[in-house]
Structure 1
Amino acid sequence: MRSIVTFFAIAVIGCSPSDPPPTSTATASVSVEQTVGNVAVQSQSRGSVQVSAGSADVSIDVDGVTIRKFSGRVVGVTDGDTLDVLRSDNSTVRVRFNGVDAPERGQPFGDNAKRYVSDTFHRSPDVTIIDLGQDRYGRTIGEVIAGGRRLGVDLVAAGLAWHYVKYSPDDTELADAERTAREAKRGLWSDPRHVAPWEWRKLSKDERDQLR
Protein backbone atom coordinates (compact mmCIF):
# COMPACT_ATOMS: atom_id res chain seq x y z
CA MET A 1 0.00 0.00 0.00
CA ARG A 2 1.44 3.33 -1.00
CA SER A 3 1.20 6.84 0.31
CA ILE A 4 2.42 9.82 -1.69
CA VAL A 5 3.85 12.82 0.14
CA THR A 6 4.82 15.81 -1.96
CA PHE A 7 6.58 18.78 -0.47
CA PHE A 8 8.77 21.74 -1.31
CA ALA A 9 11.64 21.61 1.18
CA ILE A 10 13.19 24.97 1.97
CA ALA A 11 16.50 23.52 3.10
CA VAL A 12 20.05 24.65 3.63
CA ILE A 13 21.92 22.47 1.16
CA GLY A 14 25.13 24.26 0.31
CA CYS A 15 27.17 24.06 3.51
CA SER A 16 29.85 21.68 4.67
CA PRO A 17 29.66 19.97 8.11
CA SER A 18 32.09 22.49 9.59
CA ASP A 19 30.32 25.59 8.33
CA PRO A 20 28.31 27.73 10.77
CA PRO A 21 24.55 27.89 10.22
CA PRO A 22 24.07 30.11 7.16
CA THR A 23 21.80 33.09 6.99
CA SER A 24 20.31 32.26 3.61
CA THR A 25 18.63 29.20 2.19
CA ALA A 26 18.58 27.24 -1.03
CA THR A 27 15.74 25.17 -2.36
CA ALA A 28 15.19 21.53 -3.22
CA SER A 29 12.05 20.11 -4.75
CA VAL A 30 11.31 16.51 -3.86
CA SER A 31 8.36 14.19 -4.10
CA VAL A 32 8.38 11.04 -2.00
CA GLU A 33 6.53 7.87 -2.86
CA GLN A 34 6.80 5.58 0.13
CA THR A 35 6.30 1.84 -0.21
CA VAL A 36 6.42 -0.96 2.32
CA GLY A 37 10.02 -2.18 2.54
CA ASN A 38 11.33 0.32 0.04
CA VAL A 39 11.19 4.01 -0.82
CA ALA A 40 10.70 5.17 -4.37
CA VAL A 41 10.99 8.87 -4.92
CA GLN A 42 10.95 11.84 -7.08
CA SER A 43 9.06 14.69 -8.59
CA GLN A 44 9.35 18.45 -8.73
CA SER A 45 5.99 19.22 -7.15
CA ARG A 46 5.46 21.85 -4.50
CA GLY A 47 3.90 21.94 -1.08
CA SER A 48 5.53 23.88 1.72
CA VAL A 49 7.71 22.82 4.61
CA GLN A 50 10.17 25.04 6.48
CA VAL A 51 13.41 23.37 7.55
CA SER A 52 15.37 25.00 10.35
CA ALA A 53 19.12 25.37 9.84
CA GLY A 54 20.37 25.05 13.40
CA SER A 55 22.50 21.97 12.75
CA ALA A 56 23.96 19.79 10.02
CA ASP A 57 21.22 17.19 10.46
CA VAL A 58 17.59 18.19 9.98
CA SER A 59 14.43 16.09 10.21
CA ILE A 60 11.14 16.99 8.54
CA ASP A 61 7.88 15.29 9.40
CA VAL A 62 5.23 15.50 6.69
CA ASP A 63 1.98 13.64 7.27
CA GLY A 64 3.79 11.01 9.30
CA VAL A 65 6.70 10.54 6.86
CA THR A 66 10.07 11.64 8.19
CA ILE A 67 12.57 13.09 5.73
CA ARG A 68 16.12 13.77 6.90
CA LYS A 69 18.89 15.97 5.59
CA PHE A 70 22.51 15.48 6.56
CA SER A 71 25.88 16.74 5.45
CA GLY A 72 29.12 14.84 5.19
CA ARG A 73 32.21 14.10 3.15
CA VAL A 74 32.41 11.65 0.28
CA VAL A 75 35.01 9.00 1.13
CA GLY A 76 34.29 6.46 -1.59
CA VAL A 77 32.59 6.08 -4.95
CA THR A 78 31.31 2.56 -5.68
CA ASP A 79 29.99 3.31 -9.15
CA GLY A 80 28.20 6.04 -11.06
CA ASP A 81 25.18 6.15 -8.79
CA THR A 82 26.42 4.94 -5.39
CA LEU A 83 28.81 6.56 -2.95
CA ASP A 84 29.93 6.43 0.70
CA VAL A 85 29.50 9.50 2.88
CA LEU A 86 31.30 10.07 6.20
CA ARG A 87 29.03 11.94 8.59
CA SER A 88 30.03 14.25 11.43
CA ASP A 89 29.50 11.44 13.97
CA ASN A 90 32.12 9.36 12.08
CA SER A 91 29.53 6.92 10.76
CA THR A 92 29.65 6.02 7.07
CA VAL A 93 26.47 5.86 5.01
CA ARG A 94 26.18 4.24 1.58
CA VAL A 95 23.99 6.45 -0.61
CA ARG A 96 22.21 5.40 -3.80
CA PHE A 97 21.25 8.33 -6.05
CA ASN A 98 17.54 8.92 -6.18
CA GLY A 99 15.85 8.62 -9.59
CA VAL A 100 19.06 7.79 -11.47
CA ASP A 101 20.51 4.52 -12.81
CA ALA A 102 24.10 4.60 -14.06
CA PRO A 103 25.75 1.86 -16.16
CA GLU A 104 26.92 -1.12 -14.13
CA ARG A 105 30.57 -1.93 -13.56
CA GLY A 106 31.74 -3.78 -16.66
CA GLN A 107 29.00 -2.20 -18.75
CA PRO A 108 29.99 0.32 -21.45
CA PHE A 109 30.29 3.82 -19.93
CA GLY A 110 30.21 2.39 -16.39
CA ASP A 111 33.80 3.53 -15.76
CA ASN A 112 33.02 6.93 -17.31
CA ALA A 113 30.10 7.46 -14.93
CA LYS A 114 32.16 6.46 -11.91
CA ARG A 115 35.00 8.75 -13.00
CA TYR A 116 32.58 11.67 -13.43
CA VAL A 117 31.32 11.28 -9.86
CA SER A 118 34.84 10.70 -8.46
CA ASP A 119 36.17 13.81 -10.21
CA THR A 120 33.30 15.88 -8.82
CA PHE A 121 34.13 14.94 -5.25
CA HIS A 122 37.88 15.08 -5.77
CA ARG A 123 37.41 18.79 -6.38
CA SER A 124 34.96 19.26 -3.51
CA PRO A 125 34.25 16.28 -1.22
CA ASP A 126 31.56 17.93 0.89
CA VAL A 127 28.01 16.90 0.09
CA THR A 128 24.49 17.21 1.42
CA ILE A 129 22.09 14.30 1.25
CA ILE A 130 18.31 14.56 1.43
CA ASP A 131 17.63 11.14 2.94
CA LEU A 132 14.52 9.57 1.44
CA GLY A 133 14.69 6.17 3.11
CA GLN A 134 16.36 2.85 2.35
CA ASP A 135 16.20 0.35 -0.48
CA ARG A 136 16.05 -3.39 0.02
CA TYR A 137 19.85 -3.57 0.17
CA GLY A 138 20.00 -1.20 3.13
CA ARG A 139 21.41 1.70 1.15
CA THR A 140 20.15 5.21 1.76
CA ILE A 141 18.16 6.54 -1.19
CA GLY A 142 19.06 10.19 -1.41
CA GLU A 143 19.12 13.38 -3.38
CA VAL A 144 22.84 14.12 -3.65
CA ILE A 145 23.52 17.86 -3.53
CA ALA A 146 27.02 19.00 -4.51
CA GLY A 147 27.87 22.67 -4.91
CA GLY A 148 24.18 23.53 -4.65
CA ARG A 149 23.31 21.25 -7.60
CA ARG A 150 21.59 17.88 -7.92
CA LEU A 151 24.47 15.66 -8.99
CA GLY A 152 22.08 13.06 -10.43
CA VAL A 153 20.71 15.61 -12.89
CA ASP A 154 24.23 16.60 -13.97
CA LEU A 155 25.15 12.94 -14.44
CA VAL A 156 22.13 12.31 -16.66
CA ALA A 157 22.74 15.54 -18.60
CA ALA A 158 26.31 14.39 -19.30
CA GLY A 159 24.94 11.25 -20.92
CA LEU A 160 26.36 9.00 -18.20
CA ALA A 161 23.17 7.71 -16.58
CA TRP A 162 19.51 7.09 -17.25
CA HIS A 163 16.55 8.80 -15.65
CA TYR A 164 15.12 5.89 -13.62
CA VAL A 165 11.52 6.56 -14.58
CA LYS A 166 10.18 3.58 -12.62
CA TYR A 167 11.09 5.32 -9.36
CA SER A 168 10.76 8.95 -10.43
CA PRO A 169 8.02 9.21 -13.05
CA ASP A 170 7.24 12.88 -12.40
CA ASP A 171 10.76 14.31 -12.22
CA THR A 172 10.72 16.74 -15.13
CA GLU A 173 14.27 17.93 -14.44
CA LEU A 174 15.71 14.44 -14.89
CA ALA A 175 13.47 13.81 -17.90
CA ASP A 176 14.64 17.03 -19.57
CA ALA A 177 18.29 16.23 -18.81
CA GLU A 178 17.98 12.81 -20.45
CA ARG A 179 16.15 14.16 -23.48
CA THR A 180 18.84 16.80 -24.03
CA ALA A 181 21.64 14.20 -23.72
CA ARG A 182 19.84 11.83 -26.12
CA GLU A 183 19.33 14.52 -28.76
CA ALA A 184 22.98 15.55 -28.52
CA LYS A 185 24.12 11.90 -28.62
CA ARG A 186 26.17 12.67 -25.56
CA GLY A 187 28.04 9.98 -23.65
CA LEU A 188 26.29 6.60 -23.70
CA TRP A 189 23.74 7.90 -26.22
CA SER A 190 26.52 7.94 -28.82
CA ASP A 191 26.47 4.12 -28.72
CA PRO A 192 23.60 2.73 -30.83
CA ARG A 193 23.78 -0.49 -28.78
CA HIS A 194 23.22 1.20 -25.42
CA VAL A 195 21.32 -0.91 -22.92
CA ALA A 196 19.62 0.46 -19.82
CA PRO A 197 21.16 -0.90 -16.58
CA TRP A 198 17.89 -2.50 -15.45
CA GLU A 199 17.94 -4.50 -18.69
CA TRP A 200 21.69 -5.19 -18.50
CA ARG A 201 21.24 -6.81 -15.09
CA LYS A 202 18.93 -9.40 -16.69
CA LEU A 203 21.42 -10.43 -19.40
CA SER A 204 23.58 -13.52 -19.32
CA LYS A 205 27.36 -13.23 -19.31
CA ASP A 206 27.51 -14.19 -22.99
CA GLU A 207 24.93 -11.53 -23.88
CA ARG A 208 26.88 -8.90 -21.95
CA ASP A 209 30.14 -9.89 -23.60
CA GLN A 210 28.59 -9.28 -27.01
CA LEU A 211 27.75 -5.71 -26.01
CA ARG A 212 31.09 -4.77 -24.48
Structure 2
Amino acid sequence: MTSRGEISAIADPLGWRLILGVLISHVPVASLADAASTAQVAVAAAGDADGHLSVDLLADRVVLRLHTAAVGTVTDHDLRLARAISGAVRTAPGHGDAVPQNVEIAIDALDIPLIRPFWQAVTGYVGDPGPPDLPDGALLDPLRRGPTIWFQQMDAPRHRDRNRIHLDVDVPPEHAQARIDAALAAGGVMRDAGAAPAFWVLADPEGNEACVCTWQGRD
Protein backbone atom coordinates (compact mmCIF):
# COMPACT_ATOMS: atom_id res chain seq x y z
CA MET A 1 0.00 0.00 0.00
CA THR A 2 1.23 3.48 -0.86
CA SER A 3 2.23 5.38 2.28
CA ARG A 4 0.60 8.63 3.34
CA GLY A 5 3.82 10.48 2.71
CA GLU A 6 4.09 9.07 -0.81
CA ILE A 7 0.44 9.95 -1.54
CA SER A 8 0.97 13.52 -0.33
CA ALA A 9 4.18 13.93 -2.32
CA ILE A 10 2.36 13.00 -5.53
CA ALA A 11 -0.97 14.72 -4.87
CA ASP A 12 0.07 18.05 -3.32
CA PRO A 13 1.72 19.47 -6.49
CA LEU A 14 -1.46 18.56 -8.40
CA GLY A 15 -3.63 20.70 -6.11
CA TRP A 16 -5.01 17.86 -3.96
CA ARG A 17 -4.61 17.35 -0.21
CA LEU A 18 -4.77 14.13 1.78
CA ILE A 19 -7.31 14.43 4.59
CA LEU A 20 -8.29 11.35 6.62
CA GLY A 21 -7.88 8.84 3.80
CA VAL A 22 -9.40 11.04 1.07
CA LEU A 23 -7.83 13.31 -1.55
CA ILE A 24 -9.66 16.67 -1.63
CA SER A 25 -9.35 19.47 -4.17
CA HIS A 26 -11.25 22.73 -4.72
CA VAL A 27 -11.55 24.16 -8.23
CA PRO A 28 -12.50 27.89 -8.23
CA VAL A 29 -15.46 28.79 -10.46
CA ALA A 30 -17.41 31.94 -11.28
CA SER A 31 -20.96 30.61 -11.03
CA LEU A 32 -23.05 27.53 -10.40
CA ALA A 33 -23.31 27.01 -14.17
CA ASP A 34 -19.52 27.17 -14.37
CA ALA A 35 -19.35 24.65 -11.53
CA ALA A 36 -21.58 22.25 -13.45
CA SER A 37 -19.43 22.45 -16.58
CA THR A 38 -16.23 22.07 -14.56
CA ALA A 39 -17.64 19.00 -12.84
CA GLN A 40 -18.53 17.55 -16.23
CA VAL A 41 -14.95 18.05 -17.40
CA ALA A 42 -13.60 16.38 -14.25
CA VAL A 43 -15.91 13.39 -14.58
CA ALA A 44 -15.06 12.98 -18.26
CA ALA A 45 -11.32 13.15 -17.51
CA ALA A 46 -11.66 10.51 -14.80
CA GLY A 47 -13.49 8.08 -17.06
CA ASP A 48 -14.86 5.14 -15.11
CA ALA A 49 -14.57 6.69 -11.64
CA ASP A 50 -17.60 5.17 -9.91
CA GLY A 51 -16.56 4.21 -6.42
CA HIS A 52 -13.69 6.69 -6.54
CA LEU A 53 -14.76 10.25 -7.39
CA SER A 54 -17.40 12.40 -5.69
CA VAL A 55 -18.23 15.99 -6.58
CA ASP A 56 -19.98 18.86 -4.74
CA LEU A 57 -21.06 21.93 -6.72
CA LEU A 58 -21.03 25.39 -5.13
CA ALA A 59 -21.34 28.83 -6.69
CA ASP A 60 -17.66 29.64 -6.07
CA ARG A 61 -15.99 26.23 -6.25
CA VAL A 62 -16.23 22.58 -7.18
CA VAL A 63 -15.18 20.27 -4.37
CA LEU A 64 -13.64 17.05 -5.65
CA ARG A 65 -12.93 14.00 -3.49
CA LEU A 66 -11.04 10.87 -4.49
CA HIS A 67 -10.60 7.60 -2.68
CA THR A 68 -11.39 3.96 -3.29
CA ALA A 69 -14.67 3.41 -1.46
CA ALA A 70 -14.25 -0.37 -1.37
CA VAL A 71 -11.20 -0.09 0.88
CA GLY A 72 -11.74 3.35 2.44
CA THR A 73 -8.43 4.88 1.40
CA VAL A 74 -6.46 6.37 -1.49
CA THR A 75 -4.99 3.90 -3.98
CA ASP A 76 -2.65 4.21 -6.94
CA HIS A 77 -5.72 4.34 -9.19
CA ASP A 78 -6.98 7.40 -7.31
CA LEU A 79 -3.63 9.10 -7.82
CA ARG A 80 -3.88 8.46 -11.56
CA LEU A 81 -7.37 9.96 -11.54
CA ALA A 82 -6.11 13.00 -9.63
CA ARG A 83 -3.44 13.57 -12.27
CA ALA A 84 -5.95 13.22 -15.12
CA ILE A 85 -8.50 15.55 -13.53
CA SER A 86 -5.95 18.23 -12.64
CA GLY A 87 -4.70 18.18 -16.21
CA ALA A 88 -8.20 18.58 -17.64
CA VAL A 89 -9.86 21.35 -15.62
CA ARG A 90 -9.14 24.79 -17.05
CA THR A 91 -8.63 26.47 -13.66
CA ALA A 92 -5.84 24.99 -11.57
CA PRO A 93 -7.12 23.35 -8.39
CA GLY A 94 -6.54 25.42 -5.29
CA HIS A 95 -8.18 26.07 -1.97
CA GLY A 96 -8.34 29.82 -1.40
CA ASP A 97 -9.68 30.76 2.00
CA ALA A 98 -11.51 27.44 2.55
CA VAL A 99 -9.03 24.92 3.91
CA PRO A 100 -9.82 21.30 3.03
CA GLN A 101 -10.67 19.47 6.22
CA ASN A 102 -12.62 16.63 7.75
CA VAL A 103 -14.32 16.61 11.14
CA GLU A 104 -14.72 13.47 13.22
CA ILE A 105 -16.82 12.82 16.32
CA ALA A 106 -15.13 10.45 18.77
CA ILE A 107 -17.27 8.77 21.42
CA ASP A 108 -15.73 7.09 24.45
CA ALA A 109 -17.29 3.70 25.18
CA LEU A 110 -16.83 0.82 27.59
CA ASP A 111 -18.94 -1.46 25.36
CA ILE A 112 -18.69 -0.38 21.72
CA PRO A 113 -20.94 -3.16 20.31
CA LEU A 114 -23.63 -2.09 22.78
CA ILE A 115 -23.76 1.60 21.84
CA ARG A 116 -22.74 1.57 18.16
CA PRO A 117 -26.18 0.42 16.88
CA PHE A 118 -27.82 3.38 18.62
CA TRP A 119 -25.55 5.90 16.90
CA GLN A 120 -26.00 4.20 13.55
CA ALA A 121 -29.77 4.25 13.95
CA VAL A 122 -30.09 7.85 15.12
CA THR A 123 -27.74 9.27 12.44
CA GLY A 124 -28.69 7.02 9.52
CA TYR A 125 -24.97 6.45 8.95
CA VAL A 126 -23.45 3.38 7.30
CA GLY A 127 -20.65 1.02 8.19
CA ASP A 128 -18.72 1.15 4.91
CA PRO A 129 -14.93 0.76 5.06
CA GLY A 130 -13.68 3.72 7.05
CA PRO A 131 -10.46 5.73 6.78
CA PRO A 132 -7.32 3.82 7.77
CA ASP A 133 -6.50 6.34 10.50
CA LEU A 134 -9.62 5.33 12.47
CA PRO A 135 -10.40 2.17 14.43
CA ASP A 136 -12.64 -0.47 12.88
CA GLY A 137 -16.34 0.18 13.32
CA ALA A 138 -16.41 3.83 12.29
CA LEU A 139 -19.72 5.13 10.94
CA LEU A 140 -19.89 7.31 7.81
CA ASP A 141 -22.43 9.70 6.37
CA PRO A 142 -23.70 7.92 3.22
CA LEU A 143 -23.37 11.27 1.38
CA ARG A 144 -19.89 11.81 2.86
CA ARG A 145 -20.80 15.32 3.98
CA GLY A 146 -21.33 14.92 7.71
CA PRO A 147 -18.58 14.15 10.24
CA THR A 148 -17.34 10.60 10.63
CA ILE A 149 -18.23 8.97 13.96
CA TRP A 150 -15.82 6.57 15.64
CA PHE A 151 -15.63 4.89 19.02
CA GLN A 152 -12.74 5.07 21.45
CA GLN A 153 -12.40 2.00 23.64
CA MET A 154 -12.23 2.81 27.34
CA ASP A 155 -11.07 0.44 30.06
CA ALA A 156 -12.70 2.45 32.85
CA PRO A 157 -15.31 5.21 32.99
CA ARG A 158 -14.12 8.73 32.21
CA HIS A 159 -13.63 11.03 35.16
CA ARG A 160 -16.79 13.10 35.57
CA ASP A 161 -14.85 16.30 34.81
CA ARG A 162 -13.88 15.11 31.32
CA ASN A 163 -16.19 14.93 28.34
CA ARG A 164 -16.87 11.57 26.68
CA ILE A 165 -17.44 12.96 23.18
CA HIS A 166 -14.86 15.10 21.42
CA LEU A 167 -14.18 16.47 17.94
CA ASP A 168 -11.16 15.66 15.78
CA VAL A 169 -10.44 18.25 13.09
CA ASP A 170 -8.24 16.90 10.28
CA VAL A 171 -6.35 19.55 8.28
CA PRO A 172 -3.39 19.72 5.90
CA PRO A 173 -0.16 19.65 7.96
CA GLU A 174 0.84 23.24 7.22
CA HIS A 175 -2.47 24.51 8.63
CA ALA A 176 -2.28 22.66 11.95
CA GLN A 177 -0.24 25.23 13.87
CA ALA A 178 -2.49 28.10 12.79
CA ARG A 179 -5.55 26.22 14.07
CA ILE A 180 -3.78 25.48 17.35
CA ASP A 181 -2.65 29.08 17.78
CA ALA A 182 -6.17 30.34 17.08
CA ALA A 183 -7.66 27.90 19.59
CA LEU A 184 -5.18 28.95 22.28
CA ALA A 185 -5.82 32.63 21.55
CA ALA A 186 -9.55 31.96 21.95
CA GLY A 187 -9.02 30.77 25.53
CA GLY A 188 -8.09 27.14 24.94
CA VAL A 189 -5.28 25.19 26.56
CA MET A 190 -2.93 22.54 25.23
CA ARG A 191 -3.63 19.25 27.00
CA ASP A 192 -1.20 16.95 25.21
CA ALA A 193 1.19 17.35 22.29
CA GLY A 194 2.93 14.02 22.76
CA ALA A 195 1.46 12.45 19.62
CA ALA A 196 2.19 15.44 17.35
CA PRO A 197 2.19 15.79 14.38
CA ALA A 198 -0.49 13.07 14.21
CA PHE A 199 -2.64 15.02 16.67
CA TRP A 200 -2.63 17.62 19.43
CA VAL A 201 -5.19 17.50 22.26
CA LEU A 202 -6.65 20.89 23.22
CA ALA A 203 -9.42 21.91 25.58
CA ASP A 204 -11.77 24.88 25.81
CA PRO A 205 -11.94 27.03 28.97
CA GLU A 206 -14.38 24.56 30.56
CA GLY A 207 -12.27 21.48 29.75
CA ASN A 208 -14.13 20.12 26.69
CA GLU A 209 -11.55 18.53 24.43
CA ALA A 210 -10.85 18.64 20.71
CA CYS A 211 -7.94 17.37 18.62
CA VAL A 212 -6.23 18.97 15.65
CA CYS A 213 -5.01 16.15 13.43
CA THR A 214 -2.90 15.60 10.31
CA TRP A 215 -1.81 12.57 8.28
CA GLN A 216 1.79 13.00 9.39
CA GLY A 217 3.29 10.67 11.96
CA ARG A 218 0.98 7.79 11.02
CA ASP A 219 2.99 5.85 8.42
What is the TM-score with the length of structure 2 in the denominator? 0.28
More helix per residue: 2
Question: Radius of gyration: which is bigger?
Answer: 2
